[in-house]
Amino acid sequence: MWKKILTAKVTRYLFSLILLYFAFQKVNIVALGKDIISVPWWVIPSLLLYLFPIMILGGWRWATLVLVRVTFTDVLAFTKAIYLGGFYGLFFPTPFAGDLIKWTALLKKYPNISKTRFVGSVLLDRVIGFTALCFVALVAICFGKLFGYTFPNYLWIVFGSLNFGLVVFYCLAFIIDFEMLIKRFKKLEKLAEIVGLLRRATKSDLILVFGLCLISEPLWMATTWFIAIIFGLDLHLLDVLIFMPIIALILVLPISVAGFGARETLFVYFFSSLGLPADKILAVSTFNGILGIFGSLIGGVLTFF
């Protein structure tokens, strides 16, 4: 197991370095570094404070899938566990690995809830979150086309197919006994598990969780706009809301470490189409990644409390 984890981590480090090389090869790295270092000290704490209510929404989502009745104390407990998961994710080849163990922080507080329910809720939250992200990305590309933004044609096919596939999946999951049908195939056991979780959850909870995802996604993406203002990049909020869902959906693929390399490449690819300078775009992207690391480190601090 650990050999596989190490191999995946090394592979992602190499791929990140390759992508970083191609992204930064035509940029004055020394000047870019000075720009990042010159950012006032209070910026990161301020942005982390802005992100805290978004993390609260994440805790609310997760708690809704686990508990019958959710209180604010429950939401705080689940939010803390999410921070811990982010911290654990720094040491695994994919942030999803942090999800696999973050629920362990809740075992003492909720001894009557089984481990299976916790693990299932994490998986279900991921599935609904991915569904919301796919929907937001499709809406973004549609509005982008409406407002004259340029997108590769294959993105329409990919995102359209993703959303169509998800609609079909949810219809099959709730209309027919899809779970029993796919259980016959061993390779589809994980899919059968997801279907079972969906069928056992109440529809009102699923709708609430999906709605919270739709609220939190744009709020989280607006962070890039705030960072752009700090670096003096003439990036409008609409630009961010159009491109960031697409970038975020592509970054779901576990191809780099903490998104470094892949994020910079995607930022330059999309935002440079607006005529913006590559050095400023890379400064915003790199600072975005640094902010993500600081956010994950909060989980490390919380391990002492």
Domain boundaries, the chain: 42-302
Q: pLDDT-derived band of residue 190, with 50, 70 and 90 as boundaries?
A: low
Q: What is the pTM (predicted TM-score) of this model?
A: 0.87
3-state secondary structure of 191: helix
If you average pLDDT over residues 122-136, what whole number do you get? 93
Q: Compute the mean pLDDT over every residue in the chain, rounded to the nearest whole number.
A: 85
Q: pLDDT band at 1, cuts 50/70/90?
A: very low
What is the structure's pLDDT at 114? 87
Map tokens 């004259």 to a residue.
148
Q: What is the pLDDT of residues 289-305, one digit of tens each?
A: 899 889 989 988 887 76
Choose the weakest-confidence range: 67-71, 91-95, 158-162, 191-195: 91-95
| pLDDT of amino acid 117 | 87
Sign of CA pseudo-dihedral 202, 204, 210, 215: negative
Tell me the CA distances in angstroms from 236 to 12, 143, 222, 228, 292, one per residue in order: 32, 15, 10, 9, 22
Check whether 93 has a pLDDT greater than 60: no
> In the predicted model, what is the mean pLDDT of residues 250-270?
80
194-243 per-position pLDDT tens digit? 777 787 888 899 999 999 999 999 999 999 999 999 999 999 999 999 99
Task: Determine the residue type at 122.
Answer: V
The pLDDT of residue 250 is above 90: no
Can you state the percent helix, strand and coil of the chain, rounding each to 5? Answer: 80, 0, 20
